[in-house]
Amino acid sequence: MNKDGRLRLASYNIQKSVGLDFRRDPGRIIDVINALDADVIALQEVDKRLGDRPSSIARDMIEHATDFQIAELAKNDVSLGWHGNAVLVRKGLTIHGVDHLELPGLEPRGAVQVDVGDEGNRLSVVGVHLGLLRPYRRAQLAKIREHLKIKDVPDAVVMGDFNEWSSDLGLEPLTDHFDVISPGKSFHSARPLAGLDRFALSTRLEMLDAGVDQSKRAKIASDHLPIWTDVRLPKRRRLDGTDTG
C-alpha cells in the first residue's frame, strides 16, 4: 500500500487453472497473476470440485513464484480457499483477520472476507462467486451487505465473479452503500461479451483507475479475463484528531 492509501485490487476466475486449450497449467495462471502487479487478488474456482476440493495451484508455487501470501481460508490441508474462493495478499501488507460467510442458494456458495492493511489504513476484501440465478444472486448480495453492516465494517470491497449479465439489474442490495464497477467485458476470454467480473466499492473508497487484462496469455489461461482497479482508502483519524499517513 502506498503512503497515500492507494491499493491495486484484482479479481480472476481461473477455471481451476484449465485454459482454452484444455490444459491445466497453473504456471500460466501464476504468470498472469504476477503481471497484474496487484496488492490483493481474489481468485474464483481455484479449487477442484471433487473430493476434498484440492487446489489447482500448489501452495509452494505461490510461495516461491510470487510475492504473495495466502490468506488462510481453507478448512482442510489440500484446498487453497473456501467454496473455491481464495485471496492472495502482497507480502508487506498485514492480514488482520479472515471470515467465512455461507450464502443462500440452490447450490453451495460461500463468500470469504479478508481484512488487510497497515497501521493507517484497513480494508475488508470480500471475495465472491455468485450464483447462476438472479433471485439467488440478490439474496447472496443482501446477506453480504447485512454481514458487513453487523460487523460495522467502515471500508470494504466486494469483488469477484458476479455472474450478472445485466448492467443495471440484480445488484440492488449494494446500491445504498456501494459503487458497483464493471471495468469492462471479461467473459468469455476468447470473445468477451459481458462484464461478469466486478468490484463493489464502499462509498468512502475513491476509484482511480480500472481495467481488464487483455494480454495474449490471459486470453488463453482461463475462460475469464482478470480485472483490476486502483483505489485510494480514506485517511483515518488519530485520537488527537490528526490524519494518519
The answer to whether residues 212 and 185 touch, using CB atoms and an 8 Å cutoff, is yes
pLDDT of 168 = 83
CB neighbourhood size of 194 (10 A): 15
Picking from 40, 62, 169, the residue whose alpha carbon sits closest to that of residue 114 is 40
DSSP string, 63-118: HHHSSEEE----SSSS-SSBTTBEEEEETTSEEEEEEEEEE-SSS-EEEEEEEEE-
State how far the Cα of 124 lies from the Cα of 98, in Å rounded to an integer. Answer: 9
Amino acid at 113: Q
pLDDT of 243 = 53
Q: Tell the residue number behind the cell numbers 471500508, with chain if given.
A: 155
Angle at CA of residue 230, ends 218 and 121, nearest 5°: 130
pLDDT of 2 = 65
Q: Which residues of the chain have pLDDT under 50?
A: 237-242, 245
Strand partners, 198: 160
What is the pairing mode between strands 122-129 and 109-117? antiparallel
pLDDT of 50 = 79
pTM above 0.85, yes or no: yes
Q: Residue 55 gets which letter from DSSP?
A: B
- Residue 151 three-state SS: coil
pLDDT of 237 = 42
* Cell, residue 80: 487453497
For 15-65, what is each residue's pLDDT tens digit? 999 999 999 999 999 999 999 999 999 999 999 987 789 999 999 999 999
